[in-house]
Structure 1
Amino acid sequence: MDFADLVSTDPERDAVIRGLAVWRSPLLHFAVIGAVLYVLQQFVTLQWVQPRATIAVSVADVERLRNEWRRETAQQPDARQLQASVEHYIDEQVLLHEALRLGLDRRDPVVRYRLLQNMRMAMSDAPNAGDDAALLQQAQALGMAARDLVVRRRLIQAMEQRLVAGVAVDAKAVAEYVAAHPQRYAAPMRYDFSQVYVHDEAARAQQILEQLRRDPAARPSAGDAFALGSEFSGLSRAQVAAKFDASVADAVAAAPVGQWIGPVRSPYGWHLLRVARQHPAQDSTPDAAQLRSAGYALQREREQQALHAAIAELRSRYRVQQLADADADAGGGAGA
């Protein structure tokens, strides 16, 4: 066989072979993969990286938040407190934007009722006042969901509930939570103590204290009558504070056993105190009520952690601008 017989003379076949060779080229594979990754990157950027909207915080917003703080606390907020109010406002605006983006204003029955009620009051003479769908569409066009205080609060709460819907605790987690907080669920230290009460004279209370220290067994009759008595047994610090006040509770907790101390001032007058016995704090098995309380506390803690993390992630999808001079509706904000 001649070597020339092995050489193809069919141009179409040669073109196919050359095409297959090109497709098998590693360089072409690299170029195709790069192009696909570029397209995917652009898609992800458009969907997730680019901000969905701009939330603008204007001077008017900041001043309104300042006035709300002053009205609620009767004090002027400092810079840190005011900035915390601004951050909370931004968080709420993010949640509101997300609620509207998800169409919760069209699905929530309370929101629908409120919007329809508002629209019917505003457009009672309009020809389509009885058409719910048309009224809701007009309410959406007017941005009423973002402007009505009741609707806005409802939508923000609905978003918060969605963000923490998957948070749950089990019995093991509750038991671990109880073990990690013995100060809440263990039996606290308790005290047996005596008191001598003096109504209104610190000097007389001091004189009686000196007599008691000279003769600790003596119980002078110079003290005044006290409605709750003079002998107390098995009281915790919290119980002492409830009967007297925090100053007496602190004094009892710090008192050396067997020694008269004072005078200690309370809203009732002056107290001379002697702790006879301290009952140490003890671990105890929590009862059903304590376990329920611990479960609620743990659930709340986990929900707050999940909510903060979710809001932080959502905020990364929005552009936030704190403007020196802007209208409340600037930048597509949801309104104050």
Structure 2
Amino acid sequence: MYRVLREPLLHFLLIGIGMFVVFAYLNPSSMDDPRRISVSRADLLTFMQYQARAIDGERLNIILDQLPEDKMQKVIDDYVREEVLFREAKSLGLDRYDYTAKRRLVQRMEYTLRDLVDSVDISQETLSKYYAQHQAAYYVESEITFTHVFISTKNRVPEAALLVAERTLQQLQQRRELFNHATSYGDRFLYHSNYIGKGAQTVLDHFGAGFQQQVFALSEDTLNTWQGPILSEYGYHLVQVASIKKGYQPELKEVYARVMSDAQRYEQQKLLDGAIDVIVADYKIFVEKDGITSGSGLASQPVTVTLDAS
């Protein structure tokens, strides 16, 4: 044993180990091993949150404490598997080319900044001003309830189709057919026979502008009677309107809660955009002319874009 202790090689080894320990103590970051994975309770809770898509940390804490040994090992194994694949992907540089991962990081940054502007107080003056500037978004469009008999012009010349429509209208009027009897007449329409409480936009989409304008222009004294023929993009229609509600611009008090919610989101977005502008202003942006088409006549050399952070 004494001879072993006197070996120079052992002395050198012991000195090396001592220096390594001292260096590691003075430089803890140097001990970071990309192939070492430490699994903490916080790591597992975060992992479980994302897997369960839940934010109830207290409940997950209880679940973690109550996991049997085999289930706990399964959670640890799943976490380690994900962490290993993540590190391997980074080592291959895959994170630099994955636009989906980039978008996730951008969204997380936006969420972080959004927390800073989460609470916004809206004064009555600001709310009124917002509503005045965005009234079109709260306009209540006209609504109509009607049924129709469709006479197609697809396999008929227009004159023949019109003649069929006029004869069918006479039958409907003479028999005083009810709202729900329309499907017994005419051709099959591309969309529906009955339209209950539908807005002007729906009628426009299904029939075209000409039909929409004419059917909404029908007077109240024509309600519940057969009218037409009204020409659409597809043919002629015989209509029986049950009700028409004219569109109108509501007063602020009628849509107060909705406007308040929209105004708060609008102000939050303004604050968020301002915060991002401040960050962007700290960067030097170079736009390479080559490969970028522009009608502004920029010079071919890189240009610096200065952003106003105010």
TM-score range, shorter chain: 0.3 to 0.5
Q: TM-score, length-normalised on structure 1?
A: 0.39
Q: TM-score, length-normalised on structure 2?
A: 0.42
